[in-house]
A = this chain, B = another copy of it.
Amino acid sequence: MRYLCGPQPGDLSGLDVDELAALNAIGRQRALAPGESLIWEAEDSVLVANVIDGVLKLSSNTEDGREQIVGVVYPADFIGRPFGGANSHGVTALTDARVCLFNRRDFTAFAAAHPQLEHKLLERTLGELDCTRRWMLLLGRKSASEKIASFLLETRDRLNAPKGCEFRFEDGPETIELPFSRQQIADILGLTIETVSRQFTRLKDAGIVDLPSRREVRILDSAALEAEAG
């Protein structure tokens, strides 16, 4: 069960090599430091971007400052609204990141010339919609412990996503390096930072995970985690 959205079957890497090169040619690259936001400037300025490297969050906020992270994007993911309306979510780098920006005019023209791209984008977007909807079950109906367990499993799978074709026959204790602070985990799961912290120490005390450092989690008993995930 995957929630946070990663490379889908309709990954853009499925594009022709020369198409990809052409696409990159019309974009300009930009580096982001952790905490830095991509602001969608003027109307016909930057509207779409492709993540080259790093991890970014999409977030939604209430007027009084509460935040909900509504998506986490990894390399090869697309962000932005290719067509139509104003952009609706903040986009902020969680790690050092590089993105490739396109302005609307160029991107629209490119899409028109390459129906293949639109098709891939559609497949990708449908996949993300599915992921996002699954995540709603977690937000609306799961307890704190279920949320944490689901989150850890999800993040492990996401970070282990096959980059090449390495298969992983052995899955003993795996250490995952979280690109998130406790506060960000709380904002992903709809919890408070204290609850996240308490759940982590509970899992550690139960021998289900080990916490070598603030940003590392070593899963010792993934069966137990899966049982907790609900």
Q: Could you list which residues of chain A lie within 8 angstroms of chain B, going by C-beta atoms?
A: 9-10, 58, 60-64, 66-68, 70-71, 81-85, 88-89, 115, 118-119, 121-123, 125-130, 132-137, 139-142, 187, 189-190, 230
Q: Which residues does chain B contribute within 8 Å of A139, judged by CB atoms?
A: 68, 136, 139-140, 190
Give the nearest-CB partner of A191 in chain B. B140
Give the nearest-CB partner of A131 in chain B. B88
- In angstroms, Cα B137 to Cα A60, docked, is 6
Do B118 and A60 touch across chains, with their CB atoms under 8 A apart? no
- In angstroms, Cα B58 to Cα A132, docked, is 13
- In angstroms, Cα B129 to Cα A68, docked, is 15
Q: Which residues does chain B contribute within 8 Å of A134, judged by CB atoms?
A: 60, 70, 88
A13 to chain B, nearest CB (A): 15
Give the nearest-CB partner of A142 in chain B. B62
5 smallest CB-CB distances across A and B, nearest first, come from: A140-B190, A70-B133, A139-B139, A60-B137, A68-B137
Q: Which residues does chain B contribute within 8 Å of A58, judged by CB atoms?
A: 133
